[in-house]
Chains A and B, each alone.
Chain A
Amino acid sequence: MAVLIRRLEEQDELEPFDCGDEPLNNYLRRYAWANQQKSSIGVTYVAIDEIAPRTVIGYFTLATASVPRDTFPKKYVRGLPPYNLPLILLARLAVDRRFSGKGLGHALISEAFKIALRVADDVGCRCVITDSYRDRVDWYARYGFVALEGVAESGHQRMFLDIRTIRMAVKGA
């Protein structure tokens, strides 16, 4: 299976996509294109198999954000740059269940990290943040994501990965 990861295009077939999670299916089918093209609040990258180049078998969505410096507790401000903290949000990542266990999640997150590095090089970015499902926390932790404290028990787990760690991984690769 030769997989290609590229930006979502209008002609892509999204209906057959099923990752087993309705909110993630629904986001791809109903909102991903509009958010990318009309609202510009997230860019979705899709994995496709070269033999069926319009059928999406996995995806992730990225956006940028920043945290105003004056919202941080004073005791930490000294250790931070004197600007707002720019970050990349890995908003969603899902694999069609017919393709699960084939390393597609790894391929998707690899591409997300590479894009994050390019964005960091172009416009600056300090970290990657993701809101993980509770049962996927260990999977993100394998890549070095650290759980933030103070998240509601019932909600998603917000996680942090320093962009400098990703940069070090490139050198170590």
Chain B
Amino acid sequence: MAPKSNQTGKQPQAGRAARKSKFQADLAPAEDRIVRGLKQELQLGSNTDFLSDALALFRWAVWERKNGRRIFSESETGERKELVLPRLERVAPELMLPRIEISWTPRELESLAELASREPATPTESLVRAMRG
């Protein structure tokens, strides 16, 4: 099963198959060897099958971490190793920020209200650069 591109909730037109999106990745030679090795080990015939299984596993990991559950492997002797990926940690509920009280002067509140009720400003070059990557 390949990941499908039409995730907008619209129904595909009758008689037409849902469009599939292409996924292309630049892999370093070492990564390419790993992919080939895993495909062989898991007896996966195509890159599509490989990506589909990898996606299912990653999706599950994100879901577990999002719900505050930590992910471990356990050996026969009970030795545990925790899976910690910085990107995965970003979805963990511990990311949630605490709530505080801020004091405002009446003029600051007026200024804040005025700015917040305006149309958003166009991002500056530095901001665009900050959000890149």
Contact = CB atoms under 8 A, between A and B. Distances in A.
Interface of A: 4, 6-7, 39-43, 62-67, 71-73, 76-80, 85, 88-89, 106, 109-110, 113-115, 118-119, 122-123, 126-127, 129, 142-144, 146, 148-152, 158, 160, 162, 164-166, 168-170, 172-173
Given A113-B127, A166-B131, A77 B107 contact: no
A117 to B, nearest CB: 8
Contact of A89 (B100, B112, B116): B100
B54 interface: no
A63 B99 contact: yes
B130 A106 contact: yes
B98 interface: yes
B116 A126 contact: yes
Contacts of B132: 173
Contacts of B107: 149-150
B121 A146 contact: yes
A162 B121 contact: yes
Contacts of B25: none
A76 B123 contact: no
Given A42-B97, A76-B113, A79-B117, 19 more contacts: A6-B89, A63-B99, A64-B97, A65-B102, A67-B102, A67-B109, A72-B109, A76-B117, A80-B113, A80-B116, A106-B129, A109-B130, A113-B131, A123-B96, A144-B127, A149-B108, A162-B116, A165-B120, A172-B123
A62 B123 contact: no
Contacts of A79: 113, 116-118
Interface in B2-56: none
Given A142-B124, A172-B123, A65 B113 contact: no
Given A119-B97, A151-B105, A72 B113 contact: yes
A153 B19 CA distance: 60
The 10 closest A-B pairs by CB, nearest first: A150-B107, A79-B117, A76-B113, A169-B123, A164-B120, A110-B130, A72-B113, A149-B111, A148-B111, A40-B98
B75 interface: no
A148 B131 contact: no
